[in-house]
Amino acid sequence: MATSPKFEPVIKDRLFYGSFLYCISFQLDEISCLKNLDHDYIDAVIDRRRVWREVTHQRRATIHNISQAKTAISQTILTHRVKEITSTTVENLHDLANLLINTTTDFKLVTSVDIGWVYTNSVHLIKRLSENTAIKDKKYTKAIVDRPKNTIKLQNPKNTHRSYFKSIKISDTEKNNLKNFCGNHPDIRLSPSLIEWFKTPYHRTQDYFFVDHNGESWLVMLGLVHPGLVRKTAEIIAG
């Protein structure tokens, strides 16, 4: 690539993982095999996955006595789960591993199913990855730090702090208690997703739910209603 990739800005209070300016995300089949950048490890994981998928493939025969509609649904689901791991897929994984193993710059690789993220301060490494034709759906981002750490910048803020919830499952009684507690404090602001969640029958909070509140005392009271619910708290600043 003759020119640098075009990086989309990501406004943050710190660099990616506190250290990295750039990120490239991409799709590559079986990329989660690269959680450990070791060729023997990659082959061992591939072997285990092939065995598991062969067993799953054989079990598909048991669905033939199910109704046609249910069979079609089951086959659709299982077809995805038993996707063949080809020799090309394995070669692509080893090629990418080689590139990362032999790079002389710092980086962090994060994987989830078939999606990978590489964080680094090196545009050169990003360029080399972008030239890899095996990886698809490449996206480039750059961290833009515009505020101190552990702060949220809002226009005309009405609260002093924002607290994010953990992703946990709570009982129906605990959910009702939490809803009533929040409803009894008109000076707080709930995230739109949290407001909608209170209207649903679901019982798992999400880590993007937040509450804007004033001071630390509200957290103490929340801790009495449901201990351990808050994941982190950030100061809100005007901007």
| CATH number of 214's domain | 3.30.70
pLDDT in tens, 19-49: 999 999 999 999 999 999 999 999 999 999 9
**Domain co-membership, 101 together with 163:** no
Query: What's residue 236's pLDDT?
Result: 97
Stated pTM of the model: 0.76
**Domain co-membership, 25 together with 124:** yes
Range of the domain at 109: 1-145
**Domain co-membership, 16 together with 129:** yes
Q: Is 103 exposed, middle or buried (0-12, 13-18, 19+ CB in 10 A)?
A: middle
Computed over every residue of the chain, the mean pLDDT equals 90
**Domain co-membership, 127 together with 205:** no
Query: What's residue 76's pLDDT?
Result: 45
**Domain co-membership, 56 together with 121:** yes
Q: Is 50 exposed, middle or buried (0-12, 13-18, 19+ CB in 10 A)?
A: middle
Helix (H/G/I), strand (E/B), else coil: 163: strand
Query: What's residue 71's pLDDT?
Result: 47
Split into its structural domains, the chain has a count of 2
Query: What's residue 61's pLDDT?
Result: 53
> Which parts of the chain register pLDDT below 70?
1-2, 57, 60-82
**Domain co-membership, 69 together with 132:** yes
* CA nearest neighbour of 175 among 145, 204, 218: 204
Query: What's residue 84's pLDDT?
Result: 87
Cβ(173)–Cβ(40) below 8 Å: no
**Domain co-membership, 53 together with 156:** no
* Domain endpoint, select from 119, 145, 171: 145
**Domain co-membership, 75 together with 139:** yes
C-alpha–C-alpha distance, residues 60 and 68, integer Å: 14
C-alpha–C-alpha distance, residues 181 and 175, integer Å: 10
**Domain co-membership, 112 together with 187:** no
